[in-house]
Structure 1
C-alpha cells in the first residue's frame, strides 16, 4: 500500500534517496520504527530494498529534520516522542502554513488544483474505510503539492519537517473522530485554495492547526 503512494509521488522524478527517505519516514511516522529504538544501516537497507548510498542519504536528511540521531559506533536512534512537544511543533508550523496556503491560492495552477482535489478524495476514501495509513499517505501528498503550488521553496523546506513531526504526533495522539475532523479541515483548506481565496486559505490553514492543537496534551 505504501509503495503505491511512493510510486505516485515518484512520477515527479524523485531519486532513489528520496524514495528511501519516504519509506523510512513513513515507518517513523506510523511508529513501525519505535521512538527511542536503535537501528543500523544494514537493517534499513533490508527493509527498504534500497542500496547503502540512498539509505545513507535518507538517514542524513531525517537526522537533520530531527527524526533520527546518528550515533557513531552505536547505530541510528529513532527520535523520542514526547507528547508535550506537539504544541511546540504546531507553534512553529502555523505561521509557515498560512504563508503556503495563501501563496498556493494565489499562484497554484490547474495541475496543482487537480492534485489537491485528488488528495482530498483520497482522504475521503480513507475516512470511509477507516484507514489511517492511507489517510497519512494522502496527507503527505497534500503537503507536497501545497509546497509546489505555493511557489515558495523557502517556506516549503521550512514546513516539511514540521509537517512530518505533526503526522507522527497525530498518529500517536489521535482519538475517535480525529480522522473525520482532520479530513474535513483539509477539505476546507483545499476548497479555499482552488477557489483562489488567499486570505480564506490562510485562515483555513490556521483552523487545521487549531484542530491539531485539540490533540496536544
Structure 2
C-alpha cells in the first residue's frame, strides 16, 4: 500500500474513532461506507481499511451488505473488560518500566505534564488525544506485540465508556494516568504496577457509579 494511502487510512481511523467516542456516530445506528466517506470527505479505500481496524477493536460492527453499526456501550461489558484489562495493564506497566528507551521515557514525562494540563483546562478533546497517546506509548514501551494486540481493544473500549458517561463533576483520572507515566519514566516497576492498579480501581468505581444514574 502506498504511503499516501496509509496516511489516509490512519487519518480515517483517528477521525472515525473520535466520532464513535464522542457519539457523533449514534450508538445502535447503521451507516454505510459511502455515508462515512462523505462525512469525512474521503474515498472508500481508507474508510474500509479504518473500519477493519475499528472492527477488530470492537468499536464498530461490520455487517456485509447491511452496513456498519455502532455498538451500544453497557456497564456489564465494561466490567467484564476491566477484569481482563487489570492483569494485562499491570504487566504492561511493569515491562514498560523495565524496557522503555530514554526517548520513550522523555515522551512519557511530556505526556504526564500534557494530560494534566488538559484536565485543568477541562479540554475533553485534547484529553482524549493525550490519553490515546498515553495508551499507545505504554504498550509500545512494553516491547511485546501480544500485549499490544490484547490492550488496543481493551483501552479503546474503556475510553469510549468513560467519555460516554462522564459528567462535568466526574472525578478526573488525569493524575492517575500521569502517575503511571512518571513511574515508567523513572524505571520503577513496583510503582508502575501500583499506579496501573489505581487506574483500574478508578475505572471500576466509575463504572459502578453508573448504577445510581
TM-score by length of 1: 0.88
Question: Counterpart of 1:122?
Answer: 114
CA distance in 2, matches of 1:216, 1:131: 22
Q: Please, which of 204, 208, 215 is the counterpart of residue 206 of structure 2?
A: 215
Once the two structures are TM-superposed, the CA of residue 31 in structure 1 deviates from its matched residue by 1.4
Do the aligned residues in 1 keep the contact of 2:108 with 2:182 (CA within 8 Å)? no
CA distance in 2, matches of 1:23, 1:214: 29
After TM superposition, the runs of 4+ consecutive aligned structure 1 residues lying more than 4 A away are none
Tell me the alpha carbon deviations over residues 177-215 of structure 1, each in whole angstroms, 9 at most, x when there is no partner: 422xx1110111111111111122012111101111111
Counterpart position of 1:46: 38
The answer to whether structure 1 residue 184 and structure 2 residue 175 are counterparts is yes
Q: Could you say which residue in structure 1 is the equivalent of 2:147?
A: 155
Alignment correspondent of 2:65: 73
Take 1:196 and 1:118, find their aligned partners in 2: how far apart are those partners?
16
Contact in 2 for aligned 1:41/1:56 (Cα 8 Å): yes
> Deviation of residue 103 (structure 1)?
0.7
Give the Cα separation in 1 of the matches to 2:45 and 2:186.
43
Matched, 1:37 2:29: yes
Q: Secondary structure at the match of 2:160?
A: helix
1:102-141 to 2 correspondence within 5 Å?
A: 102-141=94-133
Answer yes or no: is 1:64 the counterpart of 2:56: yes
Query: Residue 173 of structure 1: CA displacement?
Result: 2.1
Aligned to 1:9: none
Aligned residues: 202
Per-residue deviation, residues 117-142 of structure 1 (Å, max 9, x unmatched): 22222211211211112111100011
Unaligned runs of 5+ in 1: 1-13
Mapped contact 1:84–1:216 kept (Cα < 8 A): no
C-alpha separation in 2, matches of 1:122 and 1:44: 31
Equivalent residue of 2:72, what SS?
coil
Superposed displacement of residue 149, structure 1? 1.1
In the alignment, is the contact (CA less than 8 A) between 2:111 and 2:178 conserved in 1?
Answer: no
CA distance in 1, matches of 2:145, 2:62: 27
